[in-house]
Amino acid sequence: MNQAQTDSLRFAYAEIGKDDEEPPGKRSGSSSLTLTRGLALAVESPDSDKSPPEDVKQNDTQVKKIIHLHRYMFRRRFFPSASTAEWNDWQWQIRNRIMDVETLSRMIALTTDETDALTCNGNGLPFSITPYYASLIDPNDPSQALRKTMVPVMTETVHAPEESGDPLGEDNMSPVPGLVHRYPDRVLFLTTQFCSAYCRYCTRSRIMNRDAGYEFNPRQWDQAIDYIAQTPVIRDVVLSGGDPMTLSDDRLEYLLSNLRRIPHVEMIRIGTKVPAVLPQRVTSKLVRMLKKYHPLYMSVHFTHPDELTPETSQACNRLADAGIPLGSQTVLLAGVNDDVDTMKRLMQGLLRIRVRPYYLYQCDPIIGSSHFRTPVRKGLEIIRGLRGHTSGYAVPSYVIDAPGGGGKIPILPDYVQGYDGTELVMKNYQDRYYRYPDCDPAHIQ
């Protein structure tokens, strides 16, 4: 960096220090920020494509500082009148979501394809990004992972023959509106069609479409709660949507308290992407309320290590401190996270912020998702690249949610090679063969 850039960086930190409770780099919790060098480049040289200085290329700390600076400058440039208190207020973030092509085009250099997709709203999935999450997007690189997951492209309008609006057959397994009862002892409770930011590969894009006739309201919730109360086999309720964590504290508590009153409901889970796209939502007040309803679990949706910012770390640590076990759910996405290195950084980073990798999903064949789907062998390659090469805790279960409603089916690399007499022949993570003397009588000759 040259002297002017260093001075600018120092100035930015001084400014942040004036009105932030704590400067971003000093917030509690471990920072696992690993944002792209592309974004760093955009800050370094917003109007040119020249290479970054050698010291920037090689110095991760410097890159992190540049990312912080970029985010600071983003806020100052596009939301100049927002105070720090407003920026850190989740309702301000929701009110100020970026929802149209004109606003987004002021913040990032849109490609023609992105502009066309934003203009035609092809498959009915709304477009929205929180200002916070937009500050993580590279304005100059359409191939940046986070940008690909949030900014639509025209391929979304392509309806491949194998795709459907409801590939998991959820609507056919719905005893009352908004409730999916597929597995014997648990139900999926769809609470809202609202998300603060819409992932372009969303499995439930059909319900986000405001013209599709889905409805979510407290009267419908009561029907679902009644069904659960009258069905003693249900011991586990998953609140999902849309994103239930975008509900107000009161509404969320209404759901949790009513479910907690049902004696056979042993556990409640919340599925959310809020810690990644709207970490400001995880307030002290919210976690004080949530911890009244244990055992409460949370499945947090993460896509890429670039999402693991200090704010996200703080949100996850707050939830973990409240005794809520956190598990991650990640969709395998072409050109976003479909390589071993990215996935390893994501899984290891999640463990650092106290989130246990839980599921890696093969992308569902929803309408307009062909550009996101990878061959299944990619997922197997990633699991093979994790298992044995890093902590077992960092290895999620790779599953395909079977089209037609068959449920999640685990997909495993071929570690078991078969039997040789009474011995089970196995292959380890280094592709070396080992034998285990199995006592199963079926294999004793």
Distance of alpha carbon 348 from alpha carbon 342, whole angstroms: 10
Is residue 241 a contact residue for ligand SF4 (CB under 6 A)?
A: yes
For residue 309, give the nearest of 361, 273, 281, 350 by alpha carbon. 350
> How many Å apart are CA 329 and CA 371, to the nearest integer?
20
Check binding of 373 to ligand SF4 (CB under 6 A): no
**Interface residues for ligand SF4 in 203-222 (CB under 6 A)?**
204
- 301 belongs to the binding site for ligand SF4 (CB under 6 A): yes
Catalytic status, residue 210: no
Q: How far apart are CA 278 and CA 130, in angstroms?
A: 7
Which lies closer to ligand SF4 via its Cβ, residue 94 or residue 262?
A: 94
CB of 163 to ligand SF4, least distance (A): 16
Rounded to 5°, the CA angle 339-341-343 comes to 70
Q: Would residue 183 show up in a list of annotated catalytic residues for this protein?
A: yes
Q: Give the residue with the Cβ less far from ligand SF4, 155 or 422.
A: 155
- Asked if 70 interacts with ligand SF4 (CB under 6 A), we say no
- In the complex with ligand SF4, the residue whose CB is nearer, 96 or 193, is 193
- Catalytic: 47? no
Cα of 394 vs its chain's centroid, Å: 16
Query: Active-site residue among 71, 138, 195, 318?
Result: 195
Q: Is the Cβ of residue 178 or residue 241 nearer to ligand SF4 in the bound state?
A: 241
Per CB under 6 A, does 198 bind ligand SF4? Answer: yes
* Known catalytic residue at 251: no
**Which has the closest alpha carbon to 296: 278, 269, 266, 326?**
269
Residue range at the interface with ligand SF4 (CB under 6 A); choices 83-91, 127-135, 219-227, 239-247? 239-247
| CA 334-108-56 angle, 5° bins | 80
Residue of the chain from 242, 244, 275, 368 that contacts ligand SF4 (CB under 6 A): 242
Residue count, binding to ligand SF4 (CB under 6 A): 10
CA dist 273 and 231 (Å) reads 29
Taking Cα atoms as reference points, which of 279, 343, 341, 306 lies closest to residue 32? 306
Determine whether 285 is an active site residue.
Answer: no
Sheet containing strand 423-427, edge to edge, reads: 416-420, 423-427, 433-437
- Per CB under 6 A, which of residues 88..147 are in contact with ligand SF4? none
Q: Which stretch binds ligand SF4 (CB under 6 A): 88-96, 198-206, 209-217, 260-268?
A: 198-206
Which residue lies nearer to ligand SF4 by CB, 195 or 324? Answer: 195
Beta bridge partners of 437: 423
CB 415 → ligand SF4: shortest distance, Å?
Answer: 31
Residue 238 makes contact with ligand SF4 by CB under 6 A: no
For the question of residue 260 being annotated catalytic, the response is: no
Coarse DSSP helix, strand, coil percentages of the chain, rounded to the nearest 5 percent: 40, 15, 40
Q: State which residue, 199 or 298, has the beta carbon closest to ligand SF4.
A: 199
- In the residue annotation, 182 being an active-site residue is answered as yes
The C-alpha angle 99, 312, 356, rounded to 5 degrees, equals: 120
State how far the Cα of 134 lies from the Cα of 74, in Å rounded to an integer.
9
Which residues are at the interface with ligand SF4 (CB under 6 A)? 195, 198-199, 202, 204, 241-243, 273, 301
